[in-house]
Structure 1
Amino acid sequence: MNSITKRQQASRMAVNLNAPRASPIQIQRSAICEAACGARSAKAVLVSAPAGFGKTTAMSQIRSRLESSGVTTAWLTCDAADNDPARFSCNLAAAVAQLKLAHSGRDTDEVQPSLSALDTIDRLRRIPSPFAIFLDDLEHLQESAVLGLLAQLLDQLPRHGLIVIGTRTRPDIGLARLRVHGELVEIDASSLRFSLDETVEFFNDKRHLAIPLDELRQLHQSTEGWVAAIWLASVALERHVRHGDFIARFSGSDKAVAEYLTEDVLNRQPAAIRNFLLRTSILKSLSPALCDAILRRSDSAEMLDKLERSNLFLTSIDGPERTYRYHSLFASFLREQFALEMPDEVCRLRIEASCWNEDQGHVVPAIDYAIDAHDYDRALTLLSSHADCFLSGGRWRLLSRWFGAIPLQLIAAYPVLQVAHILALYFTRGAHEAIKCMEQPELEKATDQLVITHLRALRPLLLASIDRHEDAYEVGLTALSTFPTGNSFADNVLANIMAVAFAFKGEYDEARKLLDAARNTQGESPNAFGLMYTEAVEGMIDMQEGRLRQATARFRMAVAATGAPSYGYTTGNAWAGVLYAHALYEANELEQAARLLQVYVPMTKEIGLPDHMITGHVTLARIAIANGDVHHASQLLSELEYLGHHRHVVRAVASAKLERARLLLMQGDLSAAQSELERASFPEVWKRCKVLRLSANDVDYLELGRLRWLILAGKGREALPIIESAISVANSERRLRRAMKLAVLKSLALEAAGDYAAATIQMGEVLKAAAPEGIMRLVLDEGTRARNIIVRLERSARMEPDRLRDPILLDYLQRLLAGFWQGPQDGIGQLANDDGGMVPPLTAAETKVLELLAAGYSNRAMSEKLFVSDSTVRTHVRNISLKLDTHSRVQAIAKARLLGLIS
């Protein structure tokens, strides 16, 4: 692909990043502005209505009102192409860069917008003063990954930030939660409709038309305040002498609007203007240069100025080059008319637009216009020429959109695009769909060497992605016999996936050799996708060998690799994102881990990566427990179980049940935990986990779950020999992280057996190894019993003479103890107050709230069940914590059970 200059990129973004200019005939929507700007607690303003209700105008006025009060704003108009998360992330980053420019006062060229979605959110949180981001035409966004990013943006928005959304439909971005908390202002069609007073003001003061009040009342009633219909009527009445006759027959319906546009707007235009309107209707945005090119004229700038002055539904958008957009209603009407009157011209002009964009180096719109014109040969030729760039850039959603619009039989004539199609399906709809595509007869019989090379690399990748790692290993070994092939992309994919296969077999040295080979295939210009994959895989090996710091660094590099120009958010897919989040969780960086997972877990659901799907859901569930939200944790585990059934990944089902058993154990319900462990017993699954080093089950497997149950059931002596044998096996297999986890359980088993001194010594040995790596959750997740041992260990370490003290270990022990107080497990089995003081009695209402908390109810659910407000529930929860001297909900539940306050 020809490189796109910064100026070209800026020109392409300008259409989306600039708000429409205000028209002098706008009615000021004071009530709407007051509602949007006066709600100090709001995080979002939703302006939702069908086409023609003046959403964009209202948003523009809200923006002006905010700016006049010192609020910095940025504007982004969405379109269908923004369903590609890479593009949307880039546009969002550019909008945030505008906010930062306004605060810094620097020149535009000095600020490079980040393409990392999470980095963009971080930048927003660091903006010190009030700001608002306007997102118009949001109905175009339908991809769950993009909507998930918006939900995360709203969730992480600082208190002085505001998102104003204009849309025809209600987006699935967590608005219900905002509504419940009073953080959402909703402006719907009923609010946007003109009142009678506004209709009168519009005709008399803005349009300067002397229409009797009775007739205006009749017009207002027939149009029901629909802004577009009122506007169209005003234009028509300028040309009608007998106002009453027109008003009597103008209903304001869609049919009436279409008839009016035909008879009173289009047919009344001079032939030159009419022709220009129809022919340019196929353009998504209009610039003088593009219009000149497709119409083969040189006066498009003057024509666009004339249309703007005539108020012919043309919106001007400021930018490096003057750009325009037709009102959506008008554009739709014009395209229908154009197709009826000159059907042959529609495709021809779209092809002209495609050619012009290709000449400008704008490959994406060039392909878009070619597909719109049904010139699939041209689209496929362009795609073939630039396939390497799209592949290495990981533009899977963009590719998927194009392939979905092109007949499959035509793609078969372009071998390299068949490979791109398989990859696009894999990264957007999952491995099963990609395998179906790969099993097409023409591909099975392929003779093209390039196709054969790619298929050899893709087969093990797809097999591994549906949890058939043994088959992936065998197929990949055959493919390695011809490695390297000289095709950098295929060689990189094969080397990386076979490194995973060798690592899962425990052959770490062979895996690392292949990872080095993968790096060598990239030469001097590594692509983002390959770099992400290679570093993520080696990070997985580091993690299994207990090197958390090195693993975290590699995962961070893998995620950062996707921040290069032309790539973006989506290429840092679940491979790197989930692994990085899990490493952060292990270091007890819960907030940052949660933010990453909220973005990447939806992607694992879409493409069904087994280990990442399991790791993402289980980690999010544990973070939810750490925040005292047992109900949400249960939901996440149920979702994982459902996905396992839906994706035919039995290991996901077993892992969900295993984690549910752990949760029940931490809540002290031994009987229920034992039953859940039995339900998690899938012999074939856990047999595989003994043989394969599957990352999601490295330290979470059935035997370990049963050992934990024995310990918490007071059967530590029974567990000890099993644990010691398992530690020996783990060390011999270089599963050092697993060995460390088992060593923690050994300490707990010694404690349960009453050998407190040995338990403390054992824990000390584990923590001396864990401290340099900053490993935290491996210990914290074991709860109060682990904490009691660490308390003794920390006291002993503090009592050592200065010359014998290990400051690194002492600091680590103190951080661990602080982590218990913040986490969920500190309350599990927590003892009474250290000072032995009496607990103040709970009221009947507080006891009921405590019982509901123990049952996993959220604040909202409790308020509905008890028929009280959210604030009342929060007051009860706060009083309970004060009386029990606890620091989290789970602490309060556990302590109340120990004291016999609840069952």
Structure 2
Amino acid sequence: MNNTILSTKLSIPKARRELVIRNRLIQHLNDGMHRHLTLISAHAGFGKTTLVREWLASCNYAVAWLSLEEGDNNPNSFLTYIIAALQTLEKDLGKELLSLLRSPQPPKMEVILTSLLNEITSIPYNFILVLDDYHTIHTQPINYAMTFLLENMPSQMHLVITTREDPKFPLARLRARDQLTEVRDSDLRFTSSEAASFLNQVMNLRLSNKDIVDLVTKTEGWISGLQLAGISMSGHDDPSSFIKTFTGTHTFIMDYLVEEVLKQQSVYIQNFLLRTSILDRLCGPLCDAVMQDTPLIGQQNLEFLEKSNLFIIPLDNERRWYRYHHLFAELLKQRLLQDLDHSSENKKIDIAQLHIRASIWHEKNNYEIEAFQHAAAAGDVERAERLLLGNGTPLHFRGAIVPVIKWLETLSTEILNANPTLWVLYASVLSMSNHYNEVEPKLLAAEGALQGLEINRKTRNLVGHIAAIRAFLATVQNKVDVIVSESLIALENLSPDNLAVRTATTWKLGIAYERKGDNTKAKQAYTEVVSICNASGNKIIGILAATGLGNIQVKENFLEQAFKTYQQALKMKDDTPSSYSYRAYIGLARIYYEWNDLDASIEHIEKSIQLAKLIENVDQIITSNLLYVKTLLAKGDKDSASNILNEIKENVIQYNLEDRISEVSETEVILLLNQGKLLSAQKLAETYKTPLSQARVYLSQGDITKALNELNTFYQEVKQNGIREKVLKAMILKAVIFYTDGETEKSLELITDCLLEAKSGRFVRVFLDEGKHMERLLLKAYANRVMPEYIEFLLKAFKLEKQKFNCEEQTNMIHSQLLFETLSQRELEVLKLIGQGFSNKDISKRLFIALDTVKGHNRRIFDKLQVGRRTEAVAKAREIGLL
């Protein structure tokens, strides 16, 4: 989509000084302000826009205005202009959404609208949004989005729609809910008194009452009919005779009156009207370019037309931009076809020349989409192709997918075969609009068209682009080997200066290598993309590559490098679409978490979630929320962590994301252990076979052997795969297990290796999350002069950690952790059986130990728990999480 916002579409058309004040309709509109929607629906020329302008001038509401046109049937264009209109009220509203809409694969309209509605709720005053000429919209997704907006509209917002035909909204439902105010043809028709004011006071015709009544009867109060009749009568000495001969339906009236209007103008003005009718918007210099007049009098002509009431509407207060009344423009275009040379071939040449002139002017003034559309209308395939390709970044790469597809669909197979570039562009735009099944036939057609052509720079580029598109399809299908093979073919054939396609291809190659586990090659590919993204102009790919590189650096424990890489990714989003910057935000959030800056972590997590929701990336939402759970647990907010985890589980079920169940379960085990629910944690860990979780559960139960067995299996796997991030976590947990089991030397040896690995990345939370056991192990290591400065840094973090909780929670937590150390494995077994209701005699039999031995265990358990009987022991053990 063209990044240039046409501000004239956002300006309320200026009302003429002399108007017929329609108090009855204004009162009707005022009375309907408590409803969601005011619908002004009538045929062309009934004064819909004029009425709204008159009403707005008398009401005390803030107003956002959008004049719609055919080109706004692109959903992205529609939403872009909706946001731009609202920004005339609040300049910062929807800024991030505009960036998302300009991305290659923007989010769905409902998602954008949800976020937009949330932002609208913050507007501290009532306002009106006017959508003028909604009948130009015929795209169902837009109608669906507008229905969604109406059903969820904030109370301070009121929507006004003018249209020639009813929109495809659930109007019956809105009527039943008293949410709809309607103004129809019958309401808008001029009464005799209104017509008298219009014809005699505004148009200065001095008609008799009988003439007015006759004219109103024949036009049925149709305002444009009255206006056209008034213009035609201005040259007649006998208005009454003219009115008597004035007959016919609306269609014939329009045809007849346009003839009368045009014939009363000079030949030059007639020619000006006809030739400039190809333009959706007019300004003096553009008209000069189309007419090629000498001297340049386009602006003078437009001002003359306005003063002559020739159906021209100013679009700004400076009288620079205008448009013809839509009905008048349609009639002018029809007459243009009729009045040009009789030869159909010459007609095409003349009209095509007008479009080419318009295209040249729009290109020079940076209106790229309009320049392309006029070239396409002219049938100039070569020029349209050049404009489509842009300066290395094709128009559809910038969001203009709909007009590009629309043009390509009009081209014959012969034209496409004669120009293989168009076949390739066709495949490219289809792949970017998610029409994946239609892409390969276009690529095959392109290859067929290339057969027999000379192998040169251009044809090699096309071969490379074809391979690049196939590599893109392979990423969607997760065919790693195909991504690599097609990407290599693409890079071999693409010329060095074809940076846009080469950059995207190299990024896809990096994805493939990362999926294959070859981080070295993946980093090389990502680094290359990042280094040239500015030159290629494809900063979106630069963001994706930078975050991919940062993710690998995190896996390798290079947190400082990763932090800088993620920051670099966020800098790239300045003035560019930032849909995928959520990847950088969650990357920074992980690092902030590890550095124990929990507030900064949450801030970045929330930004990541917000962006992921906008593009409906449920997988990323889950990833961000899992980190959110860990961060909330680190802050001691177990309730919020539990609520978010429940949302995650609902998403996994709703979207059938079975591949995420294991990861979610691992986080849930951590939550359950924090809540002291050891039995539930054990069942969950055993159900989903999550190694780290199972090791933690066995450790909590005092079963050191099982904990080590489980952890060793995981450790060997991640070490073999070279995932240093997970190796470090496994080593740290293993050190804690050894320390808990009294293997002090082994634990010190391991923790030393861990500290050496972690120091350069300034790791903190990976130690803090292991709790009191780790704190005591670090104290032991500090006493042995193991990396004293780094350990002092970590011990200070432990001290601050304790201050997050209140005294009672500290006491229970510390008491529980102490008991894990002081209760022997046998005592834990006896305690568990006591909790299950077994008598001392039964415990003796089950454990094959003497009854006196059982009683001795009981005494020691009671002493350590500071209780006097079995029931108190069970209650206390459950309270602190031992049962």
Same fold (TM over 0.5): yes
1:23 is aligned to: 16
Alignment of 1:163-182 (within 5 A): 164-166=129-131, 167-168=134-135, 170=143, 172=145, 175=148, 179=152, 182=155
| In 2: Cα distance, 1:804 partner to 1:279 partner | 82
Aligned partners of 1:578 and 1:600 also within 8 Å: no
- Identity, in percent, stands at 18
Aligned partners of 1:727 and 1:743 also within 8 Å: yes
1:593 is aligned to: 608
Aligned partners of 1:74 and 1:96 also within 8 Å: yes
| In 2: Cα distance, 1:676 partner to 1:443 partner | 59
Give the Å deviation of 1:301: 2.6
Aligned partners of 2:464 and 2:492 also within 8 Å: no
Aligned partners of 1:88 and 1:146 also within 8 Å: no
1:262 aligns with 2:255: yes
1:287 aligns with 2:280: no
2:865 is aligned to: none
Amino acid at match of 2:584: Y
Amino acid at match of 1:192: V
Aligned partners of 1:33 and 1:61 also within 8 Å: no
| In 2: Cα distance, 1:816 partner to 1:93 partner | 43
Amino acid at match of 1:535: A
Name the SS for the 2:372 alignment partner.
helix
Give the superposed CA RMSD: 6.1
1:580 aligns with 2:605: no
| In 1: Cα distance, 2:392 partner to 2:258 partner | 45
Give the Å deviation of 1:510: 2.4
Aligned partners of 1:621 and 1:637 also within 8 Å: no
Name the SS for the 1:588 alignment partner.
helix
Give the Å deviation of 1:532: 2.9
2:442 is aligned to: 437
Aligned partners of 1:387 and 1:417 also within 8 Å: no
Distance change in 2, residues 1:469/1:715 (3 Å) = farther
Name the SS for the 2:525 alignment partner.
helix
Listed one character per residue, the Cα deviations across residues 76-117 of structure 1 (whole Å, up to 9, x for unaligned) are: 54545567788779867876776678xxxxxxxxxxx99963
| In 1: Cα distance, 2:802 partner to 2:449 partner | 60
Listed one character per residue, the Cα deviations across residues 409-430 of structure 1 (whole Å, up to 9, x for unaligned) are: 5344445554444333332225
Distance change in 2, residues 1:436/1:355 (3 Å) = same
| In 2: Cα distance, 1:557 partner to 1:46 partner | 48
Distance change in 2, residues 1:332/1:677 (3 Å) = farther
Distance change in 2, residues 1:655/1:160 (3 Å) = farther
Alignment of 1:290-305 (within 5 A): 290-297=286-293, 298-305=296-303
- Structure 2 residues without counterparts, runs of 5 or longer: 138-142, 163-180, 202-206, 234-238, 591-600, 630-639, 784-788, 810-877
Q: 1:357 aligns with which of 356, 359, 362?
A: 362
Listed one character per residue, the Cα deviations across residues 289-342 of structure 1 (whole Å, up to 9, x for unaligned) are: 222332343443333223222333321022777111123333334334444554
Q: Which moved more, 1:730-739 or 1:587-596?
A: 730-739
1:203 is aligned to: 195
Listed one character per residue, the Cα deviations across residues 260-298 of structure 1 (whole Å, up to 9, x for unaligned) are: 221224433325344433332221111122223323434
Given the two structures, how large is their TM-score scaled by the length of structure 1?
Answer: 0.60
2:542 is aligned to: 531
1:495 aligns with 2:474: no
1:232 aligns with 2:260: no
1:192 aligns with 2:183: yes
| In 2: Cα distance, 1:807 partner to 1:116 partner | 44
Give the Å deviation of 1:368: 0.6
Give the Å deviation of 1:369: 0.6
Aligned partners of 1:460 and 1:497 also within 8 Å: yes
Listed one character per residue, the Cα deviations across residues 62-86 of structure 1 (whole Å, up to 9, x for unaligned) are: 76567x67x5x66554545567788
| In 2: Cα distance, 1:292 partner to 1:63 partner | 34
Give the Å deviation of 1:745: 9.5
Aligned partners of 2:356 and 2:374 also within 8 Å: yes
Amino acid at match of 1:442: G
Q: Which moved more, 1:491-500 or 1:207-216?
A: 207-216
Given the two structures, how large is their TM-score scaled by the length of structure 2?
Answer: 0.62
1:462 is aligned to: 473
Distance change in 2, residues 1:214/1:245 (3 Å) = closer
1:372 aligns with 2:360: no
Aligned partners of 1:45 and 1:164 also within 8 Å: no
Distance change in 2, residues 1:526/1:284 (3 Å) = closer
Listed one character per residue, the Cα deviations across residues 207-236 of structure 1 (whole Å, up to 9, x for unaligned) are: 54789799989969996x9xxx34434553
Amino acid at match of 1:295: M
Q: Which structure has the bigger radius of gyration?
A: 2
| In 2: Cα distance, 1:814 partner to 1:730 partner | 32
Listed one character per residue, the Cα deviations across residues 365-423 of structure 1 (whole Å, up to 9, x for unaligned) are: 22111212333333124435644465886766665554445446534444555444433
| In 1: Cα distance, 2:802 partner to 2:250 partner | 72
Amino acid at match of 1:495: T
Aligned partners of 2:9 and 2:68 also within 8 Å: yes
Aligned partners of 2:130 and 2:159 also within 8 Å: no
1:422 aligns with 2:413: no
Aligned partners of 1:622 and 1:633 also within 8 Å: no
Aligned partners of 2:618 and 2:651 also within 8 Å: no
1:410 aligns with 2:412: no
Amino acid at match of 2:225: L
| In 2: Cα distance, 1:222 partner to 1:746 partner | 91
Give the Å deviation of 1:468: 0.8
2:812 is aligned to: none
| In 2: Cα distance, 1:627 partner to 1:58 partner | 55
Give the Å deviation of 1:183: 5.5
Amino acid at match of 1:117: E
1:317 is aligned to: 315
Distance change in 2, residues 1:17/1:359 (3 Å) = same
Aligned partners of 2:463 and 2:493 also within 8 Å: no
Give the Å deviation of 1:353: 1.8
Distance change in 2, residues 1:336/1:398 (3 Å) = closer
Amino acid at match of 1:729: E
2:175 is aligned to: none
Distance change in 2, residues 1:262/1:482 (3 Å) = closer
Distance change in 2, residues 1:737/1:675 (3 Å) = closer
